[in-house]
């Protein structure tokens, strides 16, 4: 998978697109089971035609551009999304900057300037709720007509349902807010996880006997809060168990979202490393304690509960 940042960087790939490409467009937040059906359809068509596959995504997401104060928490940051695409058979991810110029493109301009002139599109795979262009006036019917004029075809993917309900990023966020990790996993097709770089924190955990990895998740806010038993990937030849707190750290007057992971039986320096954290089991919501001693006692109980969860899984 190759990342292309903006149309101005397409020149290096123009030879690959000389005969055209197979494209899909969307936010792909979470790359859940519904998204995966779109990607599979994209790859099937590409295999039949011999053309490269392209996924167009946006940074920021359109809703973050138009309504930053009310935009929902992301299930994936850009790095995590690209990692997930890299695990598929997609050839290119085209990351478009969503700015005023892009937002003001009419549906007609988007088709002509972006899809036809820049990408030489031959087939487009879209979800059934896809809208585009200024005022969101472009839809499947519009694309069908445009395709007849410009020589490309369009596949409208039906809604993918699980338990007779539409699989969507919104539904996954609702599951995580409960949090219902099993429901989120059913919709995602995998456990909910996130990636973060280990950064220097206040180093408070080591003073109470529970040293933690402080993570920068590259998000304004996480879609899930609380204390969890976790598996950590990227630090050893196997997933490593631990316990994580995702929240604001109210006991020490935290005001910004924080992620702290205590690894069991681990003593190596990981500063600067990117690690993947998989939520395995919900222990409790975040709460405020009367001082560090009460916090220390609760963390000990959390760690004991997490260890018990992992031990039961090994039986």
Which domains can be identified in the chain, with CATH numbers? 2-162 (3.40.50.620), 192-314 (2.40.30.30)
Lay out the sheet containing 121-127: strands in order across. 2-5, 92-97, 53-59, 21-25, 121-127, 153-157
pTM for the full model?
0.90
User: Contact at 8 Å (CB) between 85 and 2?
Assistant: no
pLDDT at 17: 78
14: its two tokens: 């123009």
Question: d(Cα 28, Cα 172) in Å, to the nearest integer?
Answer: 13
CB atoms within 10 A of CB 267: 6
Q: At what angle do helices 181-188 and 169-177 cross, to 10 degrees?
A: 160
Counting Cα atoms < 13 Å in the Cβ hemisphere of 281 gives 18
pLDDT at 280: 97
pLDDT at 251: 47
- The DSSP-derived string for 72-96 is PPPSS-HHHHHHHHHTTT--EEEEE
CB atoms within 10 A of CB 280: 22
| CA dihedral of residues 63, 67, 73, 77 (deg, nearest 10) | 50
Q: Which residues of the chain have pLDDT under 50?
A: 251-253
pLDDT at 1: 92
Question: d(Cα 112, Cα 138) in Å, to the nearest integer?
Answer: 13
Counting Cα atoms < 13 Å in the Cβ hemisphere of 159 gives 10
- Tell me the torsion sign for CA atoms 140, 141, 142, 144: positive
Question: d(Cα 126, Cα 222) in Å, to the nearest integer?
Answer: 28
């Amino acid at each position: 998978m190759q990342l292309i940042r903006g149309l101005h960087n397409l020149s290096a790939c123009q030879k690959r697109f000389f005969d055209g490409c197979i494209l899909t467009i969307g936010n792909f937040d979470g790359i859940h089971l519904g998204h995966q059906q779109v990607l599979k359809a994209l790859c099937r068509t590409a295999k039949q035609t011999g053309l490269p596959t392209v996924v167009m995504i946006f940074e920021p997401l359109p809703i973050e551009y138009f309504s930053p104060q009310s935009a929902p928490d992301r299930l994936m940051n850009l790095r995590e999304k690209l990692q997930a695409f890299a695990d598929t058979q997609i050839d290119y991810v085209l990351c478009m900057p969503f700015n005023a110029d892009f937002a003001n493109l009419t549906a007609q301009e988007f088709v002509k300037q972006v899809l036809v002139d820049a990408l030489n599109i031959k087939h487009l795979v879209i979800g059934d709720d896809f809208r585009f262009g200024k005022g969101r006036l472009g839809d499947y019917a519009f694309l069908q007509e445009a395709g007849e004029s410009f020589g490309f075809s369009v596949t409208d993917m039906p809604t993918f349902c699980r338990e007779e309900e539409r699989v969507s990023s919104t539904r996954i966020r609702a599951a995580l807010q409960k949090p219902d990790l099993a429901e989120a996993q059913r919709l995602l097709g995998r456990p909910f996880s996130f990636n973060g770089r280990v950064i220097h924190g206040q180093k408070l955990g080591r003073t109470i006997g529970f040293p933690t990895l402080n993570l920068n998740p590259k998000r304004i806010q996480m879609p899930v809060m609380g204390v969890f038993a976790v598996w950590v990937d990227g630090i050893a030849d196997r997933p490593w168990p631990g316990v994580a707190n995702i929240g604001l750290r109210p006991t020490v007057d935290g005001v910004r979202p924080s992620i702290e992971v205590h690894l069991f039986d681990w003593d190596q320096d990981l500063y600067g490393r990117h690690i993947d954290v998989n939520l395995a089991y919900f222990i409790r919501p975040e709460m405020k304690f009367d001082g560090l001693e009460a916090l220390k006692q609760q963390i000990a109980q959390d760690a004991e509960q997490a260890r018990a969860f992992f031990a039961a899984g090994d039986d």
